[in-house]
Amino acid sequence: MSVLDKAVQLVDTLGRAPGPMRLGALAEEISIPKSSAHRLLVELARHGLVRRCGDGEYTMGYRLVEWGRLADRSIGIRDIAAPVMATLRDQVRESVHLYVRDGDSRVCVHAVEGPHALRPVAVLGRALPLGYGAAGRLLLAYADDATVRRVSQQLPVHRNRTLPTRDDLATIRAGGWSVSVDEMEDGLTSLAAPISTPGGGVPAALAIAGATTRIAPDRYDEVRGLLSDACREIASRSS
């Protein structure tokens, strides 16, 4: 594991933690010596990426807020999609998530939460696998062959599920939508559709997610139609 890998894991661990973490807990979490963790944390703190708080505890640094703002500004589709997603949420009364492909992963860049107490929570900026979940399946279906090969080698099984076959991916492309049930989380159903660019690429996917009891198969046609309309509207505003 490179020094950069370790630094990223430290920051990621702090980001997932419910509060500040002590040096020993951080070192144990990513399986490195405390001395190595301390050196990395000192360097990260010098650059404002982590900060020390309390007696030997660390948390996320304020510079990450600025980086997040800059990254958000560079993803122009987010601002375009936000009002469309809010309208879609009101129509289906479920959470709506916008995912973009980032290398061999997908990242949620905007979420509009549904009105129900029982609903999925999307963590903005967290990398999720391609090939799993409705949005992951859909973005993999539109990815190039090299990406499909890499993903099949990196994560052939996830939560006891296997990657979609090439025939499955072809079916997703032909239908223009994808569905997953209990794949990323028990009791969760998600439907996704592609947001296309004028050149024909698919850099992003829009997903509707909610409790499986509320998004039953008899609602698929209704939800898919509204979802596809929203994707076309976002694409037209982006062109």
Burial of 6 (0-12, 13-18, 19+ CB in 10 A): middle
Same domain, 179 and 158: yes
In the chain, the number of structural domains is 2
36, 66, 96: which is the final residue of a domain? Answer: 66
The residue out of 15, 48, 66 marking a domain boundary is 66
Which of 39, 66, 93 is the last residue before a domain boundary?
A: 66
pLDDT value at position 233?
92
- The answer to whether residues 117 and 23 belong to one domain is no
CB contact set of 184 (below 8 Å; sequence gap of 6+): 128, 132, 133, 159, 190
Dihedrals phi, psi of 137, to nearest 5 degrees:
-65, -45
Residue 30, number of CB atoms within 10 A of its CB: 18
Buried b (16+ CB within 10 A) or exposed e, 192-226: bbbbbeeeeebbbbbbbbbbeeebeeebeeebbeb
130 and 226 together in one domain: yes
Adjacent-strand bridge partners of 235: none
Element housing 15 (H / E): helix 3-16
Predicted pLDDT of residue 75: 55
Backbone angles phi, psi at 132, to 5 degrees: -125, 145
Domain around 93: 75-238
Q: What is the pLDDT of residue 72?
A: 54
Q: 103 and 220: one domain?
A: yes
Whether residues 45 and 81 fall in one domain: no
Provide the 10 A C-beta neighbour count for residue 24. 12
Do residue 88 and residue 41 come from a single domain? no
d(CA 7, CA 39): 10
Task: Please indicate, yes or no, whether residues 127 and 222 belong to a single structural domain of this protein.
Answer: yes
**Domain containing residue 135: CATH number:** 3.30.450.40
CA 119/CA 33 separation, integer angstroms: 39
Overall pTM surpassing 0.75 (yes/no): no
Domain identity same for 125 and 199: yes
- Are residue 53 and residue 117 in the same domain, yes or no? no
Residue 176, Cβ density class (10 Å: 0-12 exposed, 13-18 middle, ≥19 buried): middle
CA 198 from chain center: how many Å?
Answer: 24
The enclosing domain of 26 has a CATH number of 1.10.10.10
Per-run averaged pLDDT (10 residues), the chain, 239 residues: 84 84 88 89 87 83 69 66 95 94 86 85 81 94 89 82 90 94 88 85 90 93 95 85
